[in-house]
């Protein structure tokens, strides 16, 4: 007779327990001693509040049917509705969404936005799907998420491989179920249906605002500096263009296929035209090509990471030759790499501060949609600059006064805001 082995639930890993969630959780633990948080509040914040796993069936163009795993994790709704992007990527897991949701909580709190953190995604290879397939996937994913998203519950936004078209499909699907237009259910929409005039550029421009402010604090000159940008997408593409406008020499940019490199500075308009039709950079001719791994080790003043998680690790961090690292992406530096870079005196502008321009302008978009009142590009940009500058200064000052890295300072500032709110509200019941 076969013996059934005893299964201990004590030892079974939690569903979101992945290396990336471990990173997010460890950062939280390391920040706690500086944040002065009561034990019960800290214990609550270690866990995502709600996690959803669904399977999304899609009719493909060839007549077959495929089912895609999909997720949404809401880490904390203490300060308000949860907020976070939706990504389409072959590697999305529940744990990845949980880590990104936790970071979103600290980010929103750091920027003093009335939101908690969320993140969602569909495990798929977006480049292999046609527009029609992507639309059917998005609409069914939204339908599956109906019970948990909403303007006062959870407000999705674009992330990796999703854009304003995706948000328009989400908004329309949600509105069709409700029976009236609900633009405030997502942000990052086209302007014609209530999008902010500045949302598309917000994250990339915010990254540059943070770099600029750090340069001022460090007494360095941005004009004439050199820069490498990993990930020439919505964040990296805009950051590269904005840096170039400020007189920075952008020597290399990359996409998933590889990087293009030119020591005298790239012709960004040409690169942009090429990538517009989803053409891989590896096929751009008349350029010197290097791999994504090689580009991370190119000598430069500023290395902008704007692709995905875990790009600088214990393995390559000792070889980084940048004067500063700016995290446009979420979680691109592992814990080990962080320590190595700190030891080597290379400042890291942390993700929850540096890429917060996106969620900040998303907040403006949501407020405008709720009030049916719209601001100009100049107004939005000025409000963003004010918010980013204020958050930067609070982080910088804490980093100086406590002698901690900018990442730890940013986490402490964010965690303190959430913890104070949770302590005031109490833990139900």
Interface ranges with ligand NAD (CB under 6 A): 85, 158-161, 203, 231-236, 254-256, 292, 306-308, 328-330, 355, 358
Least Å distance, CB 279 to ligand NAD, is 11
Catalytic residue flag (residue 119): yes
**Whose Cβ is closer to ligand NAD: residue 185's or residue 295's?**
295
Rounded CA-CA distance 99/117 in Å is 10
Nearer to ligand NAD, 176 or 256 (CB): 256
Residue nearest to ligand NAD (CB): 233
CB-nearer residue toward ligand NAD: 324 or 404 = 324
CA–CA gap between residue 243 and residue 207 (Å, rounded): 10
Q: At what angle do helices 406-425 and 94-110 cross, to 10 degrees?
A: 90
Sign of the torsion angle spanned by Cα atoms 172, 173, 176, 180: negative
Q: Token pair of 401, please?
A: 């006064």
CB of 5 to ligand NAD, least distance (A): 38
User: What secondary structure does DSSP assign to 359-426, as a single string?
Assistant: HHHHHHHHHHHHHT----HHHHHHHHHHHHHHHHHHHHHHHHHHT--HHHHHHHHHHHHHHHHHHHH-
The distance of closest approach from Cβ of residue 8 to ligand NAD in the complex, given in angstroms and rounded to an integer, is: 36
**Which candidate in 83, 107, 119, 387 is catalytic?**
119
- At CA 163, angle to CA 210 and CA 124, rounded to 5? 110
Q: How far is the CB of 362 from ligand NAD (least distance, A)?
A: 8
For residues 329 and 309, the answer to whether their CB atoms sit within 8 Å is: yes
Rounded Cα gap, residues 401 and 47, in angstroms: 30
For CA atoms 353, 359, 364, 370, the dihedral sign is negative
Instruction: Please give the helix or strand (H or E) that residue 325 lies within, else none.
Output: strand 322-327
CA 5, 9, 12: angle at the middle one, nearest 5?
90
Across the beta sheet with 348-349, the strand order is 288-290, 258-261, 249-255, 226-230, 300-305, 322-327, 348-349
Residue 88: how many CA atoms within 13 Å on its side-chain side? 20
> What tokens does 192 get?
């014609």
When the beta carbons of 85 and 117 are compared against ligand NAD, the nearer one is 85
Q: Which two tokens stand for residue 156?
A: 């999705």
Closest approach, Cβ 292 to ligand NAD, in A, equals 4
d(CA 44, CA 22): 16
Least Å from the CB of residue 3 to ligand NAD = 44
Smallest separation, CB 231 to ligand NAD (Å): 3
Smaller CB distance to ligand NAD: residue 136 or 234?
234
Nearer to ligand NAD, 292 or 339 (CB): 292
Q: Which is nearer to ligand NAD, 198 or 232 (CB)?
A: 232
Active site residues: 119
């Amino acid at each position: 007779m076969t013996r059934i082995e005893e299964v201990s639930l004590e030892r079974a890993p939690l569903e979101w327990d992945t290396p990336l969630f471990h990173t997010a959780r460890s950062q939280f633990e390391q920040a706690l001693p500086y944040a002065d948080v009561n034990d019960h509040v800290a214990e609550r914040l270690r866990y995502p509040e709600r996690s959803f796993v669904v399977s999304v069936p899609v009719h493909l163009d060839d007549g077959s049917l495929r089912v895609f795993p999909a997720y949404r994790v809401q880490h904390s709704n203490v300060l308000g509705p949860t907020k976070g992007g939706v990504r389409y990527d072959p590697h999305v897991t529940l744990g990845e969404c949980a880590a990104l949701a936790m970071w979103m909580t600290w980010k929103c709190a750091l920027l003093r936005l009335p939101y908690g953190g969320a993140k969602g995604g569909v495990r798929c290879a977006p480049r292999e799907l046609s527009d029609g397939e992507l639309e059917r996937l998005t609409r069914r994913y939204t339908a599956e998420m109906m019970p948990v998203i909403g303007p006062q519950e959870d407000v999705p936004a674009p992330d990796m491989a999703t854009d304003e078209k995706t948000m328009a499909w989400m908004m329309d699907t949600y509105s069709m179920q409700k029976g009236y237009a609900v633009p405030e259910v997502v942000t990052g929409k086209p302007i014609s249906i209530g999008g902010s005039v500045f949302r598309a550029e917000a994250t990339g421009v915010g990254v540059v605002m943070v770099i600029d402010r750090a340069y001022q604090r460090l007494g360095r000159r941005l004009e004439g500096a050199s820069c490498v940008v990993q990930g020439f997408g919505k964040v990296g593409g805009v950051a590269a263009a904005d840096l170039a406008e400020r007189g920075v020499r952008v020597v290399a940019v990359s996409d998933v296929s590889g990087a293009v490199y030119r020591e005298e500075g790239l012709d960004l308009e040409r690169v942009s035209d090429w990538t517009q039709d989803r053409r891989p950079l590896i096929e751009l001719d008349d350029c010197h090509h290097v791999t994504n791994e090689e580009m991370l080790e190119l000598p430069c003043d500023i290395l902008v990471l704007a692709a995905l998680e875990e790009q600088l690790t214990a393995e390559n961090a000792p070889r980084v030759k940048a004067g500063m690292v700016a995290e446009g992406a979420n979680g691109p530096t592992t814990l080990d790499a962080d320590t190595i870079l700190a030891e080597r005196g290379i400042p890291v502008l942390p993700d929850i501060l540096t890429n917060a321009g996106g969620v900040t302008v998303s907040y403006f978009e949501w407020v405008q949609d709720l009030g049916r009142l719209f601001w100009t590009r100049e107004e939005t940009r000025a409000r963003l600059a004010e918010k980013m500058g204020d958050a930067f200064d609070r982080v910088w000052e804490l980093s100086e006064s406590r002698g901690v890295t900018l990442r730890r300072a940013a986490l402490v500032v964010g965690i303190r805001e959430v913890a104070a709110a949770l302590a005031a509200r109490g833990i139900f019941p």
